[in-house]
Amino acid sequence: MKLGTRKVVAELHVMQPPLPVTEQRGCASKGGGSNSSCGSAAGQGDLSPEVWEKVKNHPCYSEEAHHHYARMHVAVAPACNIQCNYCNRKFDCSNESRPGVVSERLTPEQAAKKVLAVASNIPQMTVLGIAGPGDPLANPEKTFKTFELVTKTAPDIKLCLSTNGLMLPDYVDRIQALNIDHVTITINMIDPEIGAKIYPWIYYNKKRYEGVEAARILSERQLLGLEMLTARGILCKVNSVMIPGVNDRHLVEVNRAVKSRGAFLHNIMPMISAPEHGTVFGLAGRRGPTAQELKALQDSCEGEMNMMRHCRQCRADAVGLLGEDRSNEFTTEKVMEMDVHYDLELRQAYQEDVERRRAAVVAARNAELKTLAGSDSGISILIAVATKGSGRINQHFGHAKEFQVYEVSTTGAKFVGHRRVDNYCQGGFGEEESLETVIRAINDCVGVFISRIGNCPREGLLKAGIEPIDRFALEYIEQSAITYFREYLERVRNGEIEHRQRGDADIRQGALITT
Ligand code: CLF
Ligand code: SF4
């Protein structure tokens, strides 16, 4: 944006009124959570050495790590023992990215071979997760057999499990014995009346339960499982799906309940509910939250415990950095033909190099942050960033399938979310329709950082009041964001721009990724 002497109107993102705070159920931490900072953004200094060792290269448990390290899922668990009204498991859909969707189901043996193949080709892949497409603990033998096989052949890979929690108390000992150090439980309610609106039925102890009774059993089992795991020192993350009009306000209570039981991290995710997904909520026209509704809820819970904001609601067969999907490179057919050489030393050497690059990102951010020392301003802005990883602004506007969103203030640049989009440049041409969806997705941001951008989208963004910023191409994200913010404050102070509220933004409900 050319500034000159022209007065430019910059807008502040909409600040929602805080959600009402309900009565606290007790917050005696069992050691999992910390209020010191956003847990997923917490650095080494915020955590005990033991916990840091567990999270430092886990892309979901550490926001900082997610720029550098990858995870993979293997889809060995097809069956589920409950029904969620936002779920419809689907197969053979390679360009749809949301939980429950996979292209292939694998046997434990196929899965173990796939893990070795991916680990050999992507040395920064540090975590194997089993997350479906059904519930891993409704398929315990396949799940645990897979973990056993991987532990034998690739001992450096962290094991991670994601479950609805119904069967969790029965398998805690087995989880501990297998050194599964990270467990996610999806907890959407602690009030069975609300649960009855989310779960039509569960299947438990060879019996089908419905309504409030089903939700009560599920909730009791989830909270018991969480307590048993945290008592054993296993890091637990709680995922909650934000369903406007059903559990949105209630999730503040859920947050307190899981914090008091020692959960390390709380991940409140937007419900994905397009009618074409065929879910009960989607077909009924129930909408997911807007970007600012989600952020307001996450912000209101942040004082209580560490919040995760970088979840990508992955497929059950996702491979790669969060936000990228390389599963098509590792289909069963391709994996079975691969000549796999698992080289532990090579992986470790690569990861040492990743750590050096990561330390450089942090050092650059901290140095830049010092330039804001003494700045006294209540202003904060949101910016969007196109990145392919490594903490750098290294993606062309037209190629971005998602934008990472940072909140920047005098305290620094904080990752607060991501917005999935249809990439603007398709087949070498810009798509007007795609530009509109991009603008709607980052409408609450004052600017978008990209490595390059064409004239047409540049003009479209400017018209929408979003500044395209390509002068930090290939630089570090947080360092550049702080530099930009310092200059932004100067422009506000000298009257070049006026700082005021921007509107809300869309969360892409279709959640489609084009190949
Ligand atoms: Fe997979 Fe989940 Fe483990 Fe991560 S995903 S089992 S904790 S390795 Fe991560 Fe994906 Fe969000 Fe899950 S971004 S959906 S939180
Ligand atoms: Fe779907 Fe998971 Fe719910 Fe089962 S627990 S119905 S797989 S979202």
Distance spanning both ends of the chain, measured CA to CA: 32
Q: For ligand 2, say whether the CB of 325 is within 6 Å of any of its atoms.
A: no
Determine the pLDDT at residue 337.
Answer: 86
Residue 264: both structure tokens together: 């390390």
Q: What separation in Å is there between the alpha carbon of 137 and the centre of ligand 1?
A: 16
Q: Whose CA is nearest to atom 1 of ligand 2?
A: 87
Q: How many CA atoms lie within 13 A of 50 on its CB side?
A: 6
Q: Quick check: 512 pLDDT over 50?
A: no
Q: For ligand 2, say whether the CB of 116 is within 6 Å of any of its atoms.
A: no
**Which residues are CB-contacts of 512 (< 8 A; sequence separation ≥ 6)?**
95, 96, 97, 422
Q: Whose CA is nearest to atom 11 of ligand 1?
A: 311
What stretch(es) of the chain map to CATH 3.30.420.130?
A: 348-493
Determine the pLDDT at residue 304.
Answer: 65
Q: Whose CA is nearest to atom 3 of ligand 2?
A: 84
Q: For ligand 2, say whether the CB of 165 is within 6 Å of any of its atoms.
A: no
- DSSP, res 22: P
The answer to whether residues 204 and 225 touch, using CB atoms and an 8 Å cutoff, is: no
Q: φ, ψ for residue 452 (rounded to 5)?
A: -155, 160
Q: For ligand 2, say whether the CB of 135 is within 6 Å of any of its atoms.
A: yes
> Which ranges of 56-136 would DSSP assign to H, the alpha helix?
108-121
What stretch(es) of the chain map to CATH 3.20.20.70?
A: 35-334
What is the average pLDDT across 190-217? 97
pLDDT in tens, 25-77: 222 232 333 333 334 455 666 788 888 888 999 999 999 899 899 999 999 99
Q: What separation in Å is there between the alpha carbon of 166 and the centre of ligand 2?
A: 11
Residue with tokens 């299947």: 203
Of these ranges, 62-71, 92-101, 272-281, 461-470, the one predicted with the greatest mean pLDDT is 461-470
Q: Looking at the CA of 309, which ligand is closest?
A: 1
* Alpha carbons 479 and 368: distance in angstroms, whole number: 6
- Percent of the chain beyond pLDDT 70? 85
Determine the pLDDT at residue 273.
Answer: 78
Q: Quick check: 102 pLDDT over 80?
A: no
What is the average pLDDT across 410-426? 86
Q: What separation in Å is there between the alpha carbon of 239 and the centre of ligand 1?
A: 9
Q: Whose CA is nearest to atom 5 of ligand 2?
A: 164
Determine the pLDDT at residue 276.
Answer: 79
Give domain 348-493's CATH number out of 3.40.640.10, 3.40.50.300, 3.40.50.1010, 3.30.420.130.
3.30.420.130
* Strands (E) located in 107-214: 125-130, 158-163, 182-186, 201-204, 207-210
Q: For ligand 2, say whether the CB of 100 is within 6 Å of any of its atoms.
A: yes
Residue with tokens 């498991």: 89
Question: What pTM was estimated for this model as a whole?
Answer: 0.85
Q: Whose CA is nearest to atom 8 of ligand 1?
A: 129
* Alpha carbons 181 and 344: distance in angstroms, whole number: 20
pLDDT, averaged across the chain? 85
Q: For ligand 2, say whether the CB of 87 is within 6 Å of any of its atoms.
A: yes
Q: For ligand 2, say whether the CB of 412 is within 6 Å of any of its atoms.
A: no
Which of 55, 53, 106, 50 has its CA nearest to residue 78? 106
What is the average pLDDT across 458-475? 96
Which uninterrupted H or E stretch holds 83?
Answer: strand 82-83
Q: What separation in Å is there between the alpha carbon of 462 and the centre of ligand 2?
A: 42
The answer to whether residues 129 and 160 touch, using CB atoms and an 8 Å cutoff, is: yes
Residue 69 identity: Y
Q: What separation in Å is there between the alpha carbon of 164 and the centre of ligand 1?
A: 13
Distances (CA, A) of 45 to 41, 61, 264, 503: 11, 15, 16, 36
Determine the pLDDT at residue 428.
Answer: 57
Q: Which CATH architecture has domain 35-334?
A: Alpha-Beta Barrel (3.20)
Ligand 2, residue 81: give the atom nearest the CA.
4
Q: pLDDT-based confidence at 430, cuts 50/70/90?
A: low
pLDDT in tens, 448-460: 999 999 999 999 9
- The least confident of 323-327, 399-403, 486-490 is 323-327
Q: For ligand 2, say whether the CB of 82 is within 6 Å of any of its atoms.
A: yes
- The residues with which 127 forms a beta bridge, in sequence order, are 71, 158
Q: Looking at the CA of 147, which ligand is closest?
A: 1
Determine the pLDDT at residue 503.
Answer: 84
The answer to whether residues 288 and 507 touch, using CB atoms and an 8 Å cutoff, is: yes
Q: For ligand 2, say whether the CB of 380 is within 6 Å of any of its atoms.
A: no
* Alpha carbons 336 and 376: distance in angstroms, whole number: 60
What is the average pLDDT across 154-166? 95
Q: Looking at the CA of 55, which ligand is closest?
A: 1
